[in-house]
Structure 1
Amino acid sequence: MSARATVEDYYEALRRGEPLYPYFAEEADAVKFGVGETLVGYDDIAEGLREQTRTTTDWTVESDALRVVERESHAAFSDSVRMAWTDTEQDIEYDFDTRWSGTLERRPTDDDPNRDETTDEWVFVGMHVSVAHTTEEQ
């Protein structure tokens, strides 16, 4: 799977309410900045994403400008994304225009020295999601 396909698959997993933590590198220095949280390290990311999946539903993820630059072992992405969801604990609906960016790293799926790189996976080592604000002229 390409880095682009990994980002798109992550969006689809979010829409479907599937686990998101497997998309992240199992490393202590992986980071995920979200609209309302900062998660540092795989354990923190995994726990935060499990809680997000448990307490939210009805996700809308509309990508508007996905750009991916892929190199041999690393990739970077950016996107403008409309995100909407329902917080099931507080019964609140959220809807934001957001900006996404991040870095992915190619990882072999096995230790075979004769492996086929087309079976390698891409994982996020860093992700940043923020709310886009517009400035109104006065």
Structure 2
Amino acid sequence: MTVADTIEAYYAALRAGDPLAPFFLDSPDTVKFGLSERLDGADAVAEALRTQTETTRAWVVESTDRHTGQRGETAWFADSVFMGWTDVERAIRFEFDTRWSGTLVRVDAETEGAGGDETGETDENGHEWRFASMHVSTTEAL
């Protein structure tokens, strides 16, 4: 699976309400910035994403300007994404034009988890990509 495939699989999982934590590197150094939070470490990222999945519905994630790069076992991306969701606890719909960027690292599927990413695919050497960092910000003034 390519870096671009991994990013699209993450967007698809977000839309479907599927678990998102498996896309992130299992490391205390993993970091995720959202629209209103900073999460440090894989455990904090996993907990926040679990809560997000439980309390939101009707996700729209539309990528319009994705760029990726790769050098060896490290990759990066930037994207412009329209996204929207409904907060089911407050019955509020949110929609934003956002900017996404992040760093991915290639990991061995055998040692990093169940083998294969969320689609069950690895590259020809049994590796898959995980987000080591992700940053999502809005283009609008909050």
Per the normalisation by structure 1, the TM-score is 0.90
1:29-88 CA distance string (max 9 Å, x none): 100000121111000000000000000000000000010102220000000000000000
Secondary structure in structure 2 of the residue aligned to 1:97: strand
Report the CA distance between 1:25 and its aligned residue: 0.4
RMSD: 1.4
* Runs of 5+ unmatched residues, structure 2: 112-121
Match of 1:66 in 2: 66
Report the CA distance between 1:117 and its aligned residue: 4.8
Secondary structure in structure 2 of the residue aligned to 1:110: helix
1:106-137 CA distance string (max 9 Å, x none): 001126xxxx9523110000000000137xxx
Task: Please show how residues 70-89 of structure 1 align to structure 2 within 5 Å.
Answer: 70-89=70-89
Match of 2:51 in 1: 51
Secondary structure in structure 2 of the residue aligned to 1:5: helix
Q: How many pairs were matched up?
A: 130
* Runs of 5+ unmatched residues, structure 1: none
Task: Please show how residues 4-43 of structure 1 align to structure 2 within 5 Å.
Answer: 4-43=4-43
Per the normalisation by structure 2, the TM-score is 0.88
CA distance in 2, matches of 1:110, 1:88: 37
Moved >4 Å (runs of 4+): none
Task: Please show how residues 90-129 of structure 1 align to structure 2 within 5 Å.
Answer: 90-110=90-110, 117-118=123-124, 119-129=126-136
In structure 2, what residue type is equivalent to 1:102? G
Residue pair 1:108, 1:117 contacting (<8 A) in 2 also: no
Identity, in percent, stands at 48
Larger radius of gyration: 1
